[in-house]
Amino acid sequence: MTDTTVERHAAAPAGTPLLEVRNLQGWYGESHVLHGMDFDVGEGEVVTLLGRNGAGKTSTLAAVMGILGKRTGSVAYNGTETIGMQPRHIARLGIALCPEERGIFSSLNVEENLMLPPRIQEGGLPVERIYELFPNLLERRRSQGTKLSGGEQQMLAIARILRTGARLLLLDEPTEGLAPVIVQQIGRTIAALKAEGFTIVLVEQNFRFAASVADRHYVVDQGRIVDMIPGEALEANTDKLHAYLGV
Amino acid sequence: MFELLGIPPQVMMGQLLLGLINGSFYAVLSLGLAVIFGLLNIINFSHGAQYMLGAFVAWMLLTYLGLGYWWALVLAPVIVGATGLALERVALSRLYHLDHLYGLLLTFGVALIIQGLFRNYYGISGQPYQIPGALAGGQNLGFMFLPNYRAWVVVASVVVCFGTWFMIEKTRLGAYLRAATENPVLVGAFGINVPRLIALTYMFGVGLAGFAGVLAAPIYSVNPNMGADLIIVVFAVVVIGGMGSIMGAILTGYGIGLVEGLTRVFYPEGSAVVIFVIMAIVLMIKPEGLFGRTA
């Protein structure tokens, strides 16, 4: 890899980032969980938020989506400030969340779950393409959503936000609790989505998985970004990362 | 003609028809309650008063504006639903983060206010409302006389009940409603306007009560207590069917009406309490209700 490539990934993305987060503070009730997050995500990038349990990774995604109890600071998407917006308005700008617990609706079948999020703009994947990416979902489209295996539920949770036309996908621990073979499949899916031009922020504890899919890694600790490691430099920074993650 | 256990068929069929008519009202009203509870988690104690309001709006449209039954059938549910929408926006929406009990207390208070106001203005003797000309008369079925209007009530309630079931279980809008019941935060994060969905659902549920009120106006006298008398039975129907279960509310509504009718034939003294006996038995054996889901 050339130095230029490394530099491009290491620095904040050139031009205006698609997502620009500045001094983001967040609260769950009285509990202050984000203490000034600062990071950027460029268009078409896959960026991970790595950190220990409770570091503030999931809260960061919730704050970007507007579903954290209270938040201050700045979250700009494509130049539009979203900090005072309702979640439904943020979603309609082109941001979509795949939550940690997957959020599959038990009263809906697979197809209803898939078709639930409304199309918010052009550019979403057609249903046929989604079924190509996730053939299991086609076979089981009449099954109750929560009757799927954990891996299939995760695929459904990712699949349903691809239809909407959202360009920034927030994926919260998509590999959690899944068998290695399913984790590989999720990795291939994320690579395919990157190739399709989606921008992805990925929360992960499995840094080996993160290393295989991401361009850059932000390390989160105690509600702050404490480091940024380019994808190519991850190998060289393994010891440092172990110290951050406590593994 | 045949006799069953010494009961003349006219008596048997007459009581079954009466049971089916009552069941039609139970079904439409408990359906409204189930829709509201299912999505809003509000135990809408003002449902009986809103049913009464439907009957009174029909009577007022006729008395003050000269608009007859068919106009009332369309306008009264919308008008009563609009009052529900105002109630939801002004008061109920502030209680969603609190325990169910607060919504129950608020709607109970609202019911008392509405009923008190109507008692004050119109007394309790009741206002007459004529059966529309097109539905006057009846059919002689040989073993019984079937009044056209009562047949219409059964047909109209079946159409409304199963139309509502279809809308909730088989359409995109229904999928939004079911999903919002489970996880309103995530549904909002998909770009769906959940507060509006909730408000319109309450309006629709209240509109169903208004619709039942219009259906009832020509059968029962239009009086301020008509809802209060019915609402306890309707709540029992909802509990038997399973709180929040749409199909449970519909089937239990008709079923309980028929059981009540049969009880009136075989043991008239028990007809007033049979519903509550069934409710007690169901609660002991299947506390989530016949069609309810286990928590």
Q: How many CB atoms lie within 10 A of CB A32?
A: 12
Q: Note the pLDDT of residue A247.
A: 58
Q: Is the pLDDT of residue B161 over 90?
A: yes
Asked if A100 reaches chain B (Cβ–Cβ under 8 Å), the answer is no
Nearest-CA neighbor of B175 among A6, A185, A110? A110
How sure is the predictor about A231, in pLDDT bands with cuts at 50, 70 and 90?
Answer: confident
**Cβ contacts of A154 within 8 Å, gap of 6 or more:** A102, A174, A175, A178, A182, A186
Instruction: Say yes or no for a CB contact (<8 Å) between B189 and A115.
Output: no
Mean pLDDT of A163-185: 90
Query: What is the extent of the structural domain holding B121?
Result: 9-125+138-285
- Quick check: is B48 in a domain? yes
Q: Is the pLDDT of residue A4 over 80?
A: no
Q: For chain A, what are the domain ranges? A: 17-245
Domain A17-245 CATH superfamily:
P-loop containing nucleotide triphosphate hydrolases (3.40.50.300)
ipTM above 0.95, yes or no: no
Asked if B221 reaches chain A (Cβ–Cβ under 8 Å), the answer is no
Give the whole-angstrom CA distance, residue A124 versus residue A246. 39
Tell me which chain A residue has its CA closest to the CA of residue B190: A117
Kindly report the nearest CA distance between residue B169 and chain A, in angstroms. 9
Residue in B172, B183, B191 closest to A103 by CB: B183
Kindly report the nearest CA distance between residue B175 and chain A, in angstroms. 7
Q: Note the pLDDT of residue B38.
A: 82
Give the whole-angstrom CA distance, residue B12 versus residue B49. 32
Higher pLDDT, B290 or B141: B290
Instruction: Say yes or no for a CB contact (<8 Å) between A108 and B175.
Output: yes
Question: What is the residue whose two structure tokens read 């207390």?
Answer: B105
DSSP codes, A2-60: -HHHHHHHHSSPSSS-SEEEEEEEEEETTEEEEEEEEEEE-TT-EEEEE--TTSSHHHH
Q: Which residues of A touch B176 (CB under 8 A)?
A: 116
Mean pLDDT of B266-270: 89
How sure is the predictor about A6, in pLDDT bands with cuts at 50, 70 and 90?
Answer: very low
Residue in A87, A99, A120 closest to B188 by CB: A87
How many domains does chain B contain in total? 1
Q: Is the pLDDT of residue B3 over 90?
A: no
Nearest-CA neighbor of B157 among B20, B40, B2? B20
- Quick check: is B290 in a domain? no
Q: Is the pLDDT of residue A235 over 50?
A: yes
- Quick check: is B2 in a domain? no
- Quick check: is B292 in a domain? no
CATH code for the domain of B193 = 1.10.3470
Tell me the per-residue pLDDT of A24-65, one tens digit each, with 9 for 90 and over.
999 998 899 999 999 999 999 999 999 888 899 999 999 999
**B105-108 contacts at long range (C-beta below 8 A, 24 or more positions apart):** B107/B42, B107/B43, B107/B44, B107/B45, B107/B46, B107/B47, B108/B45, B108/B46
Instruction: Say yes or no for a CB contact (<8 Å) between A105 and B194.
Output: no
User: HSE of A139 in the Cβ direction (CA atoms, 13 Å)?
Assistant: 6
- Quick check: is B87 in a domain? yes
- CB-CB contact of A48 with A203 (8 Å): yes
Mean pLDDT of A131-145: 89
